[in-house]
Amino acid sequence: MSVLNASLDEIKMHEFMGKMVGDLGAATSSVLVLIGQKLGLYQVLAEQGPMTADALAKKTGTHARYVLEWASNQAASGYIEYHEEDHTFSQTPEQAAVFANEESPFFLGGGYDSLVSMFADQPRFTDVFRTGKGISWGEHDSCLFCGVAKFFKPTYKAHLLQSWIPALEGVQGKLEKGARVADVGCGHGHSTLLMAERFPESTFYGFDFHAPSIDEANKLAKEKGLINVQFKTAKAKEFPGESYDLVTFFDCLHDMGDPAGAAKHVYSKLSEDGTWMIVEPFSHDSLKENLNPVGRVYFAFSTTVCTPSSLSQEVGSALGAQAGEKKLREVVTSGGFTRFRRSSETPFNLVLEARR
């Protein structure tokens, strides 16, 4: 039954409009977040604030009138602070951790870079909604690749070596002594490089089917002077090598067209006592439980990036970013694995361990 001409509850209408004004403000302000990042406005405020818009403009080589409008929007958003007594702006330590410090585990700058690609690709999304076709990872606007790498890097840096690997059964000891590791779907290689630096006795192989990402990963490895890591272009069902002690999939299994086929391939490439670590976006098993702020973000990226990626490939399973542990278990065990458990988690990640 249509509700278009139904009578409105005035209280509910005002409450909903309040929510929508907030959402629209967040969406429109995202462009200004990108500008603040690119021009170093957040960094200067964090390092040298409080300061007036004129002083901030002078320090960053920008125009004071534009900076005043930018800072006013950011203060209205709660992203920076305004001090009326002397007309200055500043950042709290918490705001700086999110917007100014790329090494912070709370840094969200990469998410805003990814938004550029989402808006640039909007006409294509509209088309695939009608056709049911997919969009391959490499077909997206290029802002997506650097944005995703920038978004996930702080999380990996905060958790991978400190808690995720130690939570795996017997894996850290193997890596310290010397092990063979395949990091599949490695993108720009931030996860691979973190492990390679920490465990110099082990050998790491990063694989991704997106050649430009592999080029960037090789560039970063060369800059770091690491000799125990190699990056090559390969699909998840075809990556080479044998007897890996550890295979890792970081935030990529749900993007694959044939995740069950990838699971079988991983099984065939592991040593008898090998481990498969799968990091996926945090999600519950039911849709209702995922209707929350974290699920909201993940469903948005799943609609525009993850599901189109899967549907562009063979099989097109389209797990989606909110697949949930139960469904992931089914995929993993279909590949032959008999042991499966949640070894760790964060509010944003599920860390799963699979063994023979």
Q: Is the pLDDT of residue 228 over 80?
A: yes
The per-residue pLDDT for 146 is 84
Whether 4 is in a domain gets the answer: no
Q: Tell me: do 190 and 296 sit in the same domain.
A: yes
pLDDT in tens, 34-62: 999 999 999 999 999 899 999 999 999 99
Mention every residue, 6+ apart, whose C-beta is less than 8 A from residue 186: 192, 206, 207, 208, 213, 214, 217, 231, 250
Sign of CA dihedral 181, 186, 188, 191: negative
> Cis peptide leading into 166, omega within 30 of 0?
no
Residue at token pair 């797990």: 319
Q: Tell me: do 122 and 167 sit in the same domain.
A: yes
The per-residue pLDDT for 38 is 94
Q: Tell me: do 137 and 248 sit in the same domain.
A: yes
Q: Tell me: do 279 and 219 sit in the same domain.
A: yes
Strands 88-90 and 81-83, sheet pairing? antiparallel
Q: Are 356 and 276 in contact (CB under 8 A)?
A: no
Q: Tell me: do 70 and 31 sit in the same domain.
A: yes
Return d(Cα 149, Cα 187) in angstroms, integer. Answer: 7
Whether 40 is in a domain gets the answer: yes
Q: Is the pLDDT of residue 1 over 80?
A: no
* DSSP category for residue 122: H
Return d(Cα 239, Cα 271) in angstroms, integer. Answer: 15
Last residue of a domain, one of 101, 121, 136: 101
Q: Tell me: do 273 and 139 sit in the same domain.
A: yes
pLDDT in tens, 298-349: 999 999 999 999 999 998 899 999 999 999 999 999 999 999 999 999 999 9
Q: Tell me: do 249 and 159 sit in the same domain.
A: yes
Q: Tell me: do 170 and 88 sit in the same domain.
A: no
Task: Please provide the average confidence, as pLDDT, over all residues in the chain.
Answer: 95
Q: Tell me: do 264 and 330 sit in the same domain.
A: yes
As for how many domains the chain has, the answer is 2
Return d(Cα 164, Cα 154) in angstroms, integer. Answer: 14
Structure tokens at 302: 């799943």
Instruction: Output the 3-class SS for 71-115.
Output: HHHHHHHCCCEEECCCCEEECCHHHHHHHCCCCCCCCCHHHHHHH
Beta bridge partners of 180: 203
Q: Are 340 and 300 in contact (CB under 8 A)?
A: no
Report the candidate in 116, 37, 23 with the shortest Cα–Cα distance to residue 70.
37
Note the pTM of the prediction, 2 decimals: 0.91
The per-residue pLDDT for 316 is 85
Last residue of a domain, one of 66, 101, 136: 101
Q: Tell me: do 197 and 321 sit in the same domain.
A: yes
Q: Which domain holds residue 67?
A: 10-101
pLDDT in tens, 56-101: 999 999 999 999 999 999 999 999 999 999 999 999 999 999 999 9
Whether 156 is in a domain gets the answer: yes
Residues in the chain: 356
**Sheet holding 229-233: strands in order across?**
229-233, 203-208, 180-184, 244-250, 270-281, 349-355, 339-346
Give the pLDDT band (50/70/90) at residue 143.
Answer: confident
List the alpha helices (DSSP H) in the chain: 10-38, 41-48, 53-60, 64-77, 93-99, 109-120, 122-131, 143-159, 171-177, 190-198, 211-224, 259-269, 293-301, 307-311, 325-334
Q: Is the pLDDT of residue 103 over 90?
A: no
Report the candidate in 55, 48, 100 with the shortest Cα–Cα distance to residue 74.
100
Q: Tell me: do 127 and 45 sit in the same domain.
A: no
Q: Tell me: do 223 and 329 sit in the same domain.
A: yes
Q: Are 160 and 191 in contact (CB under 8 A)?
A: yes
Last residue of a domain, one of 48, 66, 101: 101
